[in-house]
Amino acid sequence: MNFDFSEKEKTFLAQVSNTMATFSKAQDLESGDLSMIRNHLTDSLAVLAPLDYLKIGLLKEGAPLSGTLALMAAMEQLSGIAPSIFLSVEMSTRLFGRILRLQEPTDDRLKIVEKLASGEVIGAVALSESAMNVENDPLATVGIREGGRIAVSGAKSYVVNGPIADWFAVVGRLDDQTAVYLIEKEAPGLTLTERIETMGYDGLAICGLGLDSVMVPENHIIGPIETSRCLDLLKLWENQILIAAALGMMKSSFEAARDYAKTHRSGGKPVIAYQEVGFKLSEMLTLYQTSQLYAYRAAWMADEDPKEAGVLTLCAKVFCTEAAESVAGKALQILSGEGYRSGGAAERAYRCAKFGQIAGISTEIARVRIGDAALGRR
Ligand SMILES: Cc1cc2nc3c(=O)[nH]c(=O)nc-3n(C[C@H](O)[C@H](O)[C@H](O)COP(=O)(O)OP(=O)(O)OC[C@H]3O[C@@H](n4cnc5c(N)ncnc54)[C@H](O)[C@@H]3O)c2cc1C
């Protein structure tokens, strides 16, 4: 187990961080109407593509890094700078993109993968439904074979990138198993709901989907795949993204609080001189660094021993996403009135943090699963 990065990897990570920090200074990437959000995303993809960030985990050729550990570190750089752009990019490139690579990809799918890697298209993954937790209920979205095509009907509740996506990976049932239907935005029978406003991630475009006998050709179907295998894999990848999101939140809120504590004076001295403030910063740094180790270990395990990685990733997700809320809360306490104003890194992180505990595999279900694994039930 070695979590050291090579000089080449370190150079790449610094390049992602510096480039995106400079790019994000010029504009507010964390809010806007739909057309603004689309522009922010396409502009960000245009900045990330030449760095080859989008190729990691997607294309072997030309990817600057390989392996899930290095991917985790790369995602952490972006998530700390632009949380909404990060989630949007990762749900498109890494989640949607990796789904396209499942099973033997057709030439059609490989072309879309290449376009994702060059930042030319946006993807979205539609899994959750109204009684949404796919852990509890079988998916109600279903495909029925009609001639050489499949008619897909159903509804999806929350789809990140939904209003701006070119392609959707819609997860549903097929022949009593699970399949992913690849559907273009103009497909007849596909409707989008209004944009959904959320507590955090103000710069994300989210909506629901309706599918009324959307006809999908055979070459746009991935699967059928055994349901638990398919869902476990999608949730693993989603959880890895949410873990990286949590690391980024901790980094940005810790740095905001530390810098403020050093420069802001109250009672004739910088507030860092108050022991209570120093203690808070030390707890925050401890939580952040412990989370980072946990995240890196789970990512490393994903390549070393995928069977072990499932539960370890759940443990890391529970720990990192709860730590992110705690670190952001402590940062706000140090930043006080200044932190409570809208638009700061800690205020944003505090509002975004809850999402990581809800999405992917929720903290409650993760704990049940971890407990089952500890008892040897799974
Ligand atoms: C902003 C946002 C963006 C999203 N983006 C996407 C997306 O792009 N694609 C997508 O497919 N989905 C997306 N989702 C959906 C998200 O994955 C679900 O919200 C999540 O899986 C939780 O499901 P739920 O809301 O139905 O909770 P519910 O299942 O209704 O759960 C409610 C509560 O009960 C607990 N609970 C439920 N079942 C169990 C159980 N078996 N054991 C123990 N506790 C349980 C839960 O942990 C939770 O606390 C998004 C959600 C949000 C809020």
Q: Using a 6 Å cutoff on CB, does residue 370 contact ligand 1?
A: no
pLDDT score recorded for residue 160 = 98
pLDDT of residue 2: 76
For the record, the structure tokens of 171 come out as: 């997860």
Each residue of 58-99: pLDDT tens digit?
998 999 999 999 999 999 999 999 999 999 999 999 999 999
355 CB near ligand 1 (under 6 Å): yes
Distance 352 CA to ligand 1 centre (A): 15
> Does the C-beta of 368 come closer than 6 Å to ligand 1?
yes
User: H or E element: which one contains 167?
Assistant: strand 167-174
Alpha carbon separation from 192 to 158, 164, 168, 170, 195 (Å, rounded): 11, 10, 11, 13, 8
For tokens 């949730």, what's the residue?
235
Phi, psi (rounded to 5 degrees) for 213: 45, 50
Pairwise CA distance, residues 360 & 230, whole Å: 14
Q: Which CATH number fits domain 7-117: 1.10.540, 2.30.240, 1.10.10, 1.20.1070?
A: 1.10.540
- Is residue 138 very low, low, confident or very high in pLDDT (cuts 50, 70, 90)? confident
Name every residue whose Cβ is closer than 8 Å to that of residue 201 and which is 6 or more positions away in sequence: 83, 84, 87, 352, 355
Domain locations in the chain? Answer: 7-117, 123-225, 228-374
State whether the beta carbon of 158 lies less than 6 angstroms from ligand 1. Answer: yes
Closest-CA residue, ligand 1 atom 27, reads 133
Question: Which atom of ligand 1 is nearest the CA belonging to 363?
Answer: 47
Decide whether any atom of ligand 1 lies within 6 Å of the 207 Cβ. no
Q: Is the pLDDT of residue 1 over 80?
A: no
- Nearest alpha carbon, ligand 1 atom 50: 158
pLDDT band at 131 (very low <50, low <70, confident <90, very high): low
Q: Tokens for 79?
A: 């998530």
3-class secondary-structure state, position 125: strand
Q: What is the pLDDT of residues 181-231, one digit of tens each?
A: 999 999 999 999 999 999 999 999 999 999 999 999 999 999 999 999 999
Q: Which fold would CATH assign to domain 228-374?
A: Butyryl-CoA Dehydrogenase, subunit A; domain 3 (1.20.140)
**pLDDT given for residue 13 in this prediction:** 97
**If you classify domain 123-225 with CATH, what class do you get?**
mainly beta
Output the pLDDT for position 3. 81
Residue-level pLDDT at 185: 98
Contact at 8 Å (CB) between 87 and 160?
yes
The amino acid sitting at 317 is: K
The pLDDT tens digits of the residues spanning 217-276 come to: 999 999 999 999 999 999 999 999 999 999 999 999 999 999 999 999 999 999 999 999
Bridge-based pairing state of the strands 269-270 and 265-266? antiparallel
Mean pLDDT of the chain: 95
Residue 120 has pLDDT above 60, yes or no: yes
For ligand 1, say whether the CB of 126 is within 6 Å of any of its atoms: yes
- 357 CA from centroid of ligand 1 (Å): 9
